[in-house]
């Protein structure tokens, strides 16, 4: 009897424990669920510091930093004659050592050239194993796109093209390569917040590119470090970079001593409507050292986000090429 009673008692105690355990499990689940539902979302990835790789000083009347491109080893930055857009130079900077070279114009001699207009943005394309830069001029007459072939630190004029949208001259401020096949180069162009598609025969040295409207980029209401920037809609549009394999677009905007880079995921030439800015990834520099800090262009190389700047304070211009600290594209 004692043994049986003990057995029954033990069984009842175990059953009570099981019931209590079930109630505790349900309670913990409810509490955790409540915390998940009511808690704040994971913190957005935000980058707001940078390292300067090399300065790009004024030279040969060229004082305005313009287009930028990041290659596998070197970074390229154009400077032009501000307010005239009639003369340009190109700096080449080693992305690791910071070694800087003023590139040579192999067509006309010297270091300057007259072809690139405002040269607001550029992209690198390899054609038949030779390196080329495609530069948007933003000119209402003459070519709106210029191609340069370059070898080492020397470049040559290699092509001029007209851009048209619905039959009218188009003067986009941004360009980036999307794809290259055995016959065709496909580009994205940007004017303001609108992305356009366009293509060109691979080896054509002249011709007309007919642009087609693709999609718009959300700016108003975009989150930077998890919060809306109230005056972001008044920032100046700059160039852009498109990471075609990952379908990610980086878009810099500037105002006075502030520069912001918005990011757009899952965009391609077939995207339509308005692409939303990523809520969980953004970049911003608010400079206390410079009253003017303008990111002109950005580019990815080995996962790092590089950029060039117009920078100035009371002591003068401090234009340069930089990299965002800590960021590696996933």
Q: What are the backbone angles phi and psi of residue 233, rounded to the nearest 5°?
A: -65, -15
**Cα 177 to the center of its chain, rounded Å:** 13
The model's pLDDT over 185-210, given as tens digits with 9 standing for 90+, comes to 999 999 999 999 999 999 999 999 99
Strands 154-165, 145-151: pairing kind: antiparallel
Fold of 45-324: Tachylectin-2; Chain A (2.115.10)
With residue 22 as reference, give the H or E element that holds it. Answer: helix 2-38
The model's pLDDT over 79-94, given as tens digits with 9 standing for 90+, comes to 999 999 999 999 999 9
Tokens of 268: 């391609």
Distance CA 230, CA 184 (A): 42
Collapsing DSSP states into helix, strand and coil, what is residue 94? strand
pTM score = 0.87
Tokens of 311: 């920078």
Q: What are the backbone angles phi and psi of residue 25, rounded to the nearest 5°?
A: -60, -45
Annotate 254-310 with DSSP letters as a single string. EETTEEEEEEEES--TT--SEEPPPSSEEEEEE-SS-SEEEEEEEEEETTEEEEEEE
The model's pLDDT over 231-243, given as tens digits with 9 standing for 90+, comes to 999 999 999 999 9
The model's pLDDT over 133-164, given as tens digits with 9 standing for 90+, comes to 999 999 999 999 999 999 999 999 999 999 99
pLDDT confidence of 31, banded at 50, 70, 90? very low
Q: How many CA atoms lie within 13 A of 235 on its CB side?
A: 29
Tokens of 266: 């899952």
The 8-class DSSP code of residue 141 comes to S
Contact yes or no for 269/188 (Cβ under 8 A)? yes
- Per-residue CA distances from 8 to 3, 5, 15, 16 (Å): 9, 5, 10, 12
Tokens of 272: 């339509």
pLDDT confidence of 44, banded at 50, 70, 90? confident
Q: Is the dihedral angle over the CA atoms 166, 167, 173, 175 positive or is it negative?
A: positive
Strands 104-105, 154-165: pairing kind: parallel
């Amino acid at each position: 009897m004692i043994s049986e009673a003990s057995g029954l008692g033990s069984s009842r105690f175990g059953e009570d424990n099981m019931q209590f355990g079930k109630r505790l499990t349900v309670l913990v689940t409810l509490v955790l669920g409540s915390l998940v539902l009511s808690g704040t979302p994971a913190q957005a990835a935000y980058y707001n510091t940078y390292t300067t790789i090399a300065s790009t000083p004024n030279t040969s009347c060229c004082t305005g930093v313009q287009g930028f491109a990041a290659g596998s080893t070197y970074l390229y930055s154009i400077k032009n004659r501000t307010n005239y857009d009639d003369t340009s130079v190109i700096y080449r900077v080693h992305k690791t050592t910071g070694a800087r070279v003023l590139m040579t114009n192999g067509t006309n001699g010297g270091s300057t050239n007259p072809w690139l207009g405002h040269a607001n943005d550029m992209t690198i394309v390899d054609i038949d194993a030779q390196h080329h830069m495609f530069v948007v001029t933003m000119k209402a007459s003459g070519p709106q796109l210029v191609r340069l072939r370059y070898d080492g630190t020397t470049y040559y004029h290699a092509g001029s093209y007209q851009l048209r949208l619905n039959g009218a001259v188009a003067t986009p401020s941004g360009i980036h390569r999307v794809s290259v096949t055995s016959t065709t180069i496909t580009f994205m162009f940007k004017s303001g917040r609108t992305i356009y598609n366009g293509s060109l025969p691979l080896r054509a040295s002249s011709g007309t590119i007919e642009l087609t409207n693709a999609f718009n980029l959300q700016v108003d209401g975009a989150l930077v470090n998890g919060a809306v920037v109230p005056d972001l809609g008044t920032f100046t549009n700059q160039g852009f970079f498109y990471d075609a394999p990952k379908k990610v677009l980086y878009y810099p905007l500037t105002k006075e001593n502030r520069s912001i880079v918005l990011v757009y995921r899952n965009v391609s030439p077939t995207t339509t409507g308005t692409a939303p800015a990523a809520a969980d990834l953004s970049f911003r520099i608010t400079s206390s050292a410079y009253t003017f800090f303008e990111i002109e262009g950005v580019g990815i190389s080995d996962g790092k986000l590089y950029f060039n700047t117009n920078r100035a304070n009371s002591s003068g211009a401090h234009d340069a090429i930089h990299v965002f600290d800590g960021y590696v594209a996933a």
